[in-house]
Each structure stands twice: as C-alpha cells, then as structure tokens.
Amino acid sequence: MLVNKKYVKRHAKGFVYLHWINAVCFFMLFLTALPLYADSCKGLYDIFGAKTLQNAHRFFAVLFVLNPVIGLITAREGIWRMFSEVLKFNSKDITFLVKFPLELIGKHPAGIPKQGFYNGGERMNIALQLATWGVLVGSGALLWFGEGIIDNSIRAWMIPLHSLCAGIGFAGSIGHIYLALIANPDSVHGMQDGTVKVDYANAHHGEWMDDLVKEGKIKQQELKEALKG
C-alpha cells in the first residue's frame, strides 16, 4: 500500500534513527579527533580543550558502538537488509557503477539497469561504511584499552589504520551526503519519515518496485496512478 497515494514505505523508523545517530556520531568522532589528524585544526584543542575533545571522542565512540547494537532490536530489518544487499552485489551493479558517474552531475544516462532496494553505489557505500566501522571500532578500542594487554608492536599499527579509515570513511560520507542532498534530494525524504516518492523509487530502484508489486505489497494499480499523478 502506498502512503498518501504518492509515497512508498522504504525505511522503518528505527532504521532512520539508527542512521542519523550513526551519522552524527561519525561526524562528531571525526571532528573531535581532527586536531590530531591535521595540524591546521589544532585550534579546536585551544577552544575546547584537548581533554574535553578526547573525552567527547570516547563518548561518541561508545554511542557509535552502542547504536547498531540497539539497532539490532529496533531496526533489525534495516540492518539485515543492508547486509543482504551488500552480498547481492552483481553484474548489474557493475554496469550501474560504470554509467553512474553522470548521475553525479544530475544527468540520467541511458542503459542503466533497473536497481534493487539499494543500487550499486549504495551497496558500495554500505560495504565501505561497514568496513570502516569495524576497523575504526577495532583499532580505536585497541588504542583505548589495549595498553599493557596488546603488544605495542601491534598497537603502533592501529594509529595509521584508524587514521586511514577515518579518512576513507570521511571522504566516502562526503560523497554520500552529496548524492543524497544534491544529486538526489528526493532520497532524503526516506531518511525523514521513511517513505520516498513513488516516481523517485521507480526511477532509481525499479527492480525493488517490481519486487514490491510481485510480493503484492503494493498493487499495480496504485503504482500506475501514482506515477501518472
């Protein structure tokens, strides 16, 4: 069933929260650690104090870890979907990725195969964020708690690793935000009340829409009307 005849249900509420908490934590983590990352940002320590920022980093780190743990209860479906979607990465996604760059400047090249719930780009993003999440948490934890337990010859590698992931994760998320806010502003709706416009969904996630119809979650009729309107 469509919502208000125009919107299709995409993300559960829990997942939306999960996403935003994750997003905020990520940025706060990045910002609080920025003075260590870039000398040009040392000013932040002068303003807020090194101890405050480092404690804040740890505070958000805890949230950052707890968030998906809680998510396992409140947004199990969304999380499960992310995992399964990444694993479904296929040849269509490759075609997508080849043609995709034009999307970046808002063009809609032809020949892009119909995409599933997540498109090839999103699947990439998920994979990237999952991986950096894991490494950041792991390396961060070793830096935080590993003293005296884990040999320093190992711990010393956590610093570049952590930094590396922070960098990649950050660059990735910037791209992600651009795509969401600028390239496909319609997608953001999905991260607001959980629904997206049918036309947006159809254009970007045709296969998913087809599946929904097949599964009878929405009726062909409804869909047509919505697309027309």
Partner 1 sequence: MAQEITMLHDVARCSACRACMVACKQWHDLPADMSTPFEGQYQSHKDLSSHTWNLIQMQERVDSKGNFHWDFIKKQCMHCGDPACAKGCPEEAITKLESGAVVIDPDKCVGCGYCTANCPFGIPKVDGEKHVSTKCDLCFDRIEQGMEPSCAKTCTADAILFGTREEMLKKAEERLAMIKEDHPDANIYNPHGVGGVHMLYVLPEKPAVYGLPENPQTPASINLWKDIVRPVGKLASVGAVAGVLGLTALTAMRRRGEK
Query: Which spans of this chain sit near partner 1 (rule: CB under 8 A)?
Result: 35-39, 42, 45, 50-51, 54, 104-107, 143, 146-148, 152-153, 155-160, 163-164, 166-168, 170-172, 174-175, 177-178, 182-183
Closer Cβ to ligand HEM, 64 or 223, answer by number: 64
29: partner contacted, choices ligand HEM, partner 1, none (Cβ within 5-8 A by kind)? ligand HEM
Residue 118 is given by DSSP the state S
Q: Name beta bridge partners: 195.
A: 9
Alpha helices in the chain (DSSP H): 13-37, 43-48, 50-74, 76-87, 91-99, 101-104, 120-145, 152-178, 198-204, 206-214, 220-228
Query: Of all residues in this chain, which one has the CB nearest to ligand HEM in the complex?
Result: 140
Q: What is the full DSSP assignment across 191-218?
A: GTTSEEEHHHHHHH-HHHHHHHHHTTSS
Residue 175: CB partners within 8 Å, gap ≥ 6?
125
- Given CA atoms 138, 141, 143, 148 in this order, what sign does their dihedral have? negative
Q: Name beta bridge partners: 8.
A: 196
Closer Cβ to ligand HEM, 129 or 202, answer by number: 129
- Whether 211 and 116 have beta carbons less than 8 Å apart is answered as yes
Q: Could you tell me the smallest distance in angstroms from the CB atom of residue 133 to partner 1?
A: 17
- Whether 132 and 172 have beta carbons less than 8 Å apart is answered as yes
Site string for ligand HEM, 104-133 (x = CB under 6 A): --------------x---x--xx--x----
Closest alpha carbon to 121 in 165, 194, 113, 226: 113
Closer Cβ to partner 1, 38 or 72, answer by number: 38
Closer Cβ to partner 1, 119 or 139, answer by number: 139
Q: Which of residues 1-40 bind ligand HEM (CB under 6 A)?
A: 10, 19, 22-23, 26, 29-30, 33, 36-37
- Whether 169 and 129 have beta carbons less than 8 Å apart is answered as yes
Closer Cβ to ligand HEM, 206 or 228, answer by number: 206
Site string for ligand HEM, 159-198 (x = CB under 6 A): x--xx--x--xx--x--xx--xx-----xx-xx-------
Residues that bind ligand HEM (CB under 6 A): 10, 19, 22-23, 26, 29-30, 33, 36-37, 54, 57, 61, 64-65, 118, 122, 125-126, 129, 136-137, 140-141, 143-144, 159, 162-163, 166, 169-170, 173, 176-177, 180-181, 187-188, 190-191
